[in-house]
Amino acid sequence: MGKGTKSEKPIFERAKEILKWIHTEQKTSGLGMVEFAMVPDQGALRFLLRRGDVFEPQEGMVKSIVETEPEEESVEFPDHKPWVWKTPKPKKKGDVPEPYEFLGYPDWDAMPSVVAEALRNMGFAADPYLNEGYSYRKMAGGALRRKMIGTHSKEALLAELKQREDKSEADWKKFEEELDGKVPEYKGKYKQFPEVEVCAGILYYPKDGSFKLKVRLAEF
């Protein structure tokens, strides 16, 4: 890497390239670590050390503590600027945290107004807000966004069902009450119940509160 290349690229891009380089060197050297002085971009390396993506297992050597496969996959994530990709630090050894897109408060005008309004009034521990295939959360400094696990929010699910089925308002109210009665018992239990059939033909995903219709919807 020449000096001109370093100055032209943002530090985040340089750090990503160096992290990938360290991963490769760790695997091919047989040592499981890399000599500090061998790293071609020392500035990016110091950035990675400050961020905690690499550490010094012994003097003069560096090692990546980020799982290789997720990092390699993250390079292929779509670029939705001003949204940027982030990966949380593992809470314990063996954890592979799920990456997410982050949008800082100053850039919230990039979101649909209905989403921005929902997030402004949202608490940090509130359920995700689902809109147009994405799951949104409010967090310190901005918003977190991931692809929705299912295909429908509750509102979108009811709207589609009402188009398919001709039922009375009383029947729809009864169905919604049945749905609302079953969902709470699975909230916060997504590890035990990643996917649950809460009503005939309707799957529920506790992790983000989304729903999915089976190909053949049973009578409800």
Amino acid letter for position 70:
P
Give the Å distances, CA to CA, from 74 to 12, 99, 131: 13, 8, 23
pLDDT surpasses 70 at 217: no
HSE-CB at 116 with a 13 A cutoff on CA atoms is 11
Question: Out of 64-78, 142-156, 188-202, which region has the weakest mean confidence (pLDDT)?
Answer: 64-78
Query: pLDDT confidence of 2, banded at 50, 70, 90?
Result: very low
In whole angstroms, give the CA distance from residue 136 to residue 57: 38
Instruction: Give the model's pLDDT for residue 149.
Output: 93
Amino acid letter for position 109:
D
Question: In a 3-state reduction of DSSP, which class is residue 131?
Answer: strand
Q: Tell me the average pLDDT of the chain.
A: 83
Cβ-Cβ contacts under 8 Å for 211 (sequence gap 6 or more): 150, 151, 152, 153, 154, 157, 202, 203, 204, 205
Question: In a 3-state reduction of DSSP, which class is residue 110?
Answer: helix
What would the pLDDT profile of 62-107 be if each residue is shown by its tens digit? 888 664 444 444 445 777 889 998 888 877 777 778 889 999 999 9
Q: Between these two residues, 6 and 161, which has the higher pLDDT value?
A: 161
Instruction: Give the model's pLDDT for residue 68.
Output: 45
Q: Where in the chain is the domain with CATH 1.10.10?
A: 3-73
The rounded percent of the chain whose pLDDT value lies above 70 is 87
pLDDT surpasses 80 at 59: yes
Q: What is the CA radius of gyration of the chain?
A: 23
What would the pLDDT profile of 114-138 be if each residue is shown by its tens digit? 999 999 989 988 899 999 999 999 9
What would the pLDDT profile of 167-185 be if each residue is shown by its tens digit? 899 999 999 999 989 888 9
Please give the CATH topology (third level) of the domain spanning 3-73.
Arc Repressor Mutant, subunit A (1.10.10)
User: Which candidate, 218, 213, 196, 214, places its Cα nearest to that of 205?
Assistant: 196
